[in-house]
A and B are shown apart, each in its own frame.
Chain A
C-alpha cells in the first residue's frame, strides 16, 4: 500500500542497557488515528519518541513516506508533538507560543497572524492571544500546545498522554475535541495513553503494548471483544480470567463445569485461559445457574452494580443493572459467545 506514512521496521531500543522495545514492526497509514496503549514502562512513549526523532533506535529503521529518516534530527521532520506536560514556552504569550514554528520558517507576519487566528479558532481559544501561559488553566494550556503543533501543518501529530493531567470531565471533552480536530484536518494522529477508555473512544486502531512488544493490533471493537491473550483482556476493560481445559473444539471446562464455546483449534486437553467480561454474566435462579455461588459484596458504580460472588472456589465479578442481597445464593449462565478462550501466555501476568 502506498498510503503508509510511517513504517517501523525491526525497531529495538535500549534505555540504560535495558531493552525497552524489541524488534517492533509497524505500519501506520495516512489519516489514521492510532493509539499506543499499555501500562507504564511498556515502551509506548519510547516508540513515540523514536518517531519524533528524540530517541535513536539501537536497531532497525524508521521510514517516513517511504524515506528512511533514522538520521534526520527532530527539527527537520515534518512531524510535531504535543508533549505530556505541554512544554509551553513560559517567556512567550499565547500568540507567540503558537507562532513559534512559523517564525522559525520566516513566514511573513500577516500570514502568521491569519494562521494563529485560525488555530485559536480551531482550539476554541479566540481572544486569548496576549495571555501569559501561567494565567491559563491546564485545559487551556493543552489547547495552546495542540495549536502550537498543528500550525506547522505536520503530516503526523504525536500526542504523548496529552490529557493525563486534566480532570475527568475535561478529559472527556478534550477526547471528543481531539477526534474532531483530527477528522477536520485529516492528518495522522499517533496517540499514547495508558487509559484504555481513551484509546477505545478515539482511535481507528489500537496497539496494546507490553514489555516493549505489541501484544495486539486491531480496531477498538476487536481489541475489546476479541482480546488475543489474558493480558490484553485484563488491560482492556474488566474481566474474569480463570484457568480452564479445552476438551475439544467448542467445548471448554472451567470452574469444574463444561461450557459450549465458539473457540476451536486447540490441542485436546490443552490448558487455556478463559476470559469472561463481567457484564456478560446473566444472573438467574440457583436451579438454572451453570455457576452457583453466594453474593459477597455489592458496590454501586452509577450505571451498574458490581457484584462479587463466590462460587466453585473462585471469585466472580458481575456487572448488572439489577442488585441482589449480600449473602444471597444466585446462579450465573453464559452464552457460548460470552466465553473467550485463549492460549496461556508464556509467563503469568495477572
Chain B
C-alpha cells in the first residue's frame, strides 16, 4: 500500500503539532499549577464571558463586512476575462506578502489622532476625529487583514460556475437579481461557508489587531489568553481553559448553523 505509507509523515505531523498540543490544552484546562485535577479554571473562564461576547460580536461584524465587500468582487473576477481576473487576484494577495505586524502598524499611523487621515481632515478645519483605539478601528483591522481569506474561496467556487448556467437562468426569465439569488448564490454556497470560517475563526481569536488598533479599552479574548501565557497574569492553566471554552463555543455555533454539516453540496456543485 504505497498510498498508505506516503501518508505517514502527515499522520506524524498531525499528531505532533495538532493532536498533542490539543491534548495538552485540555490537560492544562483541567489541572492546577500543581498538576491535580480541578474545574476551577473552567469556572474562572466564565469571568471573561463579556470579553468573549465582545470578541464574537466584533468578529461577526467583520465577517459580514468581508462577505459584503468580497462577494461582489469575487463575482466580478469570475465573470471577467482571465487577465483582469488574475490582476485583481494579485492586488488582493499583494498586502499578504507584507508582514502582518507591519500592515497593522501602517493603519496605526493612518488612524492616529495626529495621523495621516486627521492631518488631511485638519486641512479643511475638521477633526481631529478619534479613530484609533475604537471598536471601529478593530473591525477595520480585522476586515483589512482577513478579507483575502474570504475572496479566495469565493473566487475559486464562482469561477467554476459556467456562463451557460447563468445564460440558462436568463433564458428562463431570470432578471439579473434573480440570477444572483436563484443560481449564483446557491452555487457559491460552499465558498461562502469556507470564507466565513476562514475569516471568523482567526478574527475571533486575534490579539495583535485589538492591541494595536483597539488600545487598552478594547481587549478581546485573544488578549486575555495572551496575558495568561506571556503577561503579568501568568497562568497557563486559565489560559488553556479560556482557549478551550472559546474553541467549544465556536464549534457549537458552527455546527448549529450548519457550517460543518456535510450536505454534499460541494460534491454536487463542483
A91 CA to B169 CA, complexed, in Å = 13
| Contact in complex: A91, B162 (CB < 8 Å) | no
> Per-residue 0/1 for B155-174: is the Cβ within 8 Å of any A Cβ (1 yes, 0 no)?
00000001011011111111
**Chain A 218-231, CB within 8 Å of chain B: the 1/0 string?**
00000000000000
A74 partner residues in chain B, CB cutoff 8 A: 167, 170-171
How many angstroms from the CA of A105 to the CA of B268 in the assembled complex?
27
State whether the Cβ of A1 lies closer than 8 Å to any Cβ in chain B.
no
> Which of A75, A84, A90, A105 is B171 in contact with, Cβ under 8 Å?
A75
Inter-subunit contact B178/A81 (CB<8 Å): no
Contact: B165 with A89, CB < 8 Å? yes
| CB atoms of A85 and B172 under 8 A apart | no
The digit string for B161-196, where 1 denotes a CB below 8 A from any CB of A, is 010110111111111001000110011010000000
Do the beta carbons of B168 and A81 come within 8 Å of each other? yes
Closest to A133 in B: B268
CB–CB B172/A87 < 8 A = no
18 pairs, A vs B, C-beta closer than 8 Å: A52-B171, A74-B167, A74-B171, A75-B175, A79-B171, A81-B168, A83-B164, A84-B164, A87-B162, A87-B165, A87-B167, A89-B169, A91-B186, A91-B189, A100-B172, A104-B178, A133-B268, A152-B172
Contact partners of A148 in chain B: CB under 8 A: 168, 172
Are B172 and A91 in contact, with the CB atoms below 8 A? no
Q: Could you tell me if B169 and A100 are in contact, using CB atoms closer than 8 angstroms?
A: yes
User: Which of A85, A104, A132 is the one whose CB lies under 8 Å from B173?
Assistant: A104
Residues of A within 8 A of B173 (CB): 75-76, 101, 104-105, 152
- Cβ of A124 within 8 Å of any chain B Cβ, yes or no, is no
Known: A81-B167, A148-B168. 14 other contacts (CB 8 A): A52-B171, A74-B170, A75-B171, A75-B173, A75-B178, A81-B168, A85-B162, A88-B165, A89-B169, A89-B183, A105-B173, A132-B268, A148-B172, A152-B173
B269 neighbours in A (Cβ, 8 Å): 90-91
Determine the chain B residues whose CB is within 8 A of the CB of A100 once the complex forms.
169, 172, 174, 182
Closest chain A CB from B237 CB (angstroms): 48
B182 to chain A, nearest CB (A): 7
Q: Does B68 contact A (CB under 8 A)?
A: no
CA distance A87 to B183 in the complex (A): 12
A89 to B265, CA, bound (A): 12
User: Which chain A residues in 60-83 approach chain B with CB under 8 Å?
Assistant: 73-76, 79-81, 83
Residues in chain A near residue B171, CB distance under 8 A = 52, 74-75, 79-81, 83, 149
